[in-house]
Amino acid sequence: DQQVKQNSPSLSVQEGRISILNCDYTNSMFDYFLWYKKYPAEGPTFLISISSIKDKNEDGRFTVFLNKSAKHLSLHIVPSQPGDSAVYFCAANNAGNMLTFGGGTRLMVKP
Amino acid sequence: DSGVTQTPKHLITATGQRVTLRCSPRSGDLSVYWYQQSLDQGLQFLIQYYNGEERAKGNILERFSAQQFPDLHSELNLSSLELGDSALYFCASSEDPFRGTDTEAFFGQGTRLTVV
């Protein structure tokens, strides 16, 4: 039972345009959501997070939106840069428990 | 640098063998998590330790075991290795996850295990 799903395994966008990565979850007990970025042969690095009491969190070029009623979150990257090319994982958590990860979306930003 | 250290970085071993992967968490982090990533797939949670005690178990095989020591470092033991155990094994650590505040986990660089 996949509690966190990323339905798009890959996404290709042009440099300068917006990248939108999507994530759906099923467990209504999740109260904290995170996005991680992973380059090949490296560990995932924390990117941005959002608490369930918010619907938007912004950090520079990265914005995460949370729609609790739809159990959906998205990561917007604007403008996209070639260095953003990586695999992005969304993850969900509730206090005391382990992070549950989605399957990842490979983002390719073309120059 | 996340502050989480994993050793070794690479490990090649034969089927049937036993290996130990080591993780040192960030200074001050009490919780350690182990994840497995096979062939560019998602991160599968294996097990979590908090201050020396097992807290949560995921899809961890009976051939695998882990522990967290008093100095908070953790070891993941993989035995009777099979070809399908070849994967990247990541360790992550976080602050006290039971305070009820939002906290993220920081990952090490991973250990790439190849079973031949």
Q: Which two tokens stand for residue B82?
A: 């099979």
What's the pLDDT at B49? 92
Q: Which of B103, B61, B53, B100 is nearest to B82 (CA)?
A: B61
Asked if residue A14 has pLDDT above 90, the reply is yes
Which of B19-46 are b and which e, b meaning 16 or more Cβ less than 10 Å from the residue's Cβ? bebebbbbeebbbbbbbbbeeeebbbbb
| Gap from A9 CA to chain B (nearest CA, Å) | 10
Contacts of A43 in chain B (CB under 8 A): 2, 4, 6, 90, 92, 107-110
Among A99, A100, A106, the strongest candidate for a mutation testing the B interface, having the largest count of B CBs within 10 A, is A99
| Gap from A78 CA to chain B (nearest CA, Å) | 23
| Percent of the residues in chain A that have a pLDDT greater than 90, as a whole number | 77
Asked if residue A98 has pLDDT above 80, the reply is no
B95 Cβ partners below 8 Å, 6+ apart?
A: B28, B29, B30, B31, B103
Which member of A51, A95, A103 has the closest CB to residue B97? A95
Helix, strand or coil for residue B96?
A: coil
DSSP annotation of B26 reads P
